Amino acid sequence: MRFAFGKSSVRLDLERLITVYFTDLFATSSPTGFQGAIKGIGHVVSDEMNASLDKEPTEEEIKAALFQMHPNKAPRPDGIRAIFYQKFRHIVEHDIVNFVSKWWRGDRDLNNINNTCIA
């Protein structure tokens, strides 16, 4: 099989195939006109609201976010779903809060964990 990006193989690099397909479908090399598109949109977030949104989340907010996730949705590449963290929160809670806090302060990168399996 031959694809637009020149790879010839029976064994497909599925991730690359999907990435190239959707990039070609939706991306543009020169996006323009943003100012015109957002011209009529007013500011709805006050300085006070923005300051509140910029604050590091509390343990309670992190727990609430965890339990708002559907238990069986968005498994990580290792197969672990949200239900694991919900059911065993008492064991992993400190690690979760510590991770989120470090990420919020810019000490952690999400690139290695921000993956989801499309099922």
Q: Which tens digit of pLDDT belongs to each residue from 41-99?
A: 888 899 999 999 999 999 999 999 999 999 987 666 777 888 999 999 999 999 999 99
pLDDT score at 23: 83
pLDDT score at 34: 75
| Tokens representing residue 100 in the block | 């989120």
Euclidean distance between CA atoms 21 and 15, whole angstroms:
10
pTM, two decimal places? 0.56
Euclidean distance between CA atoms 89 and 34, whole angstroms:
43
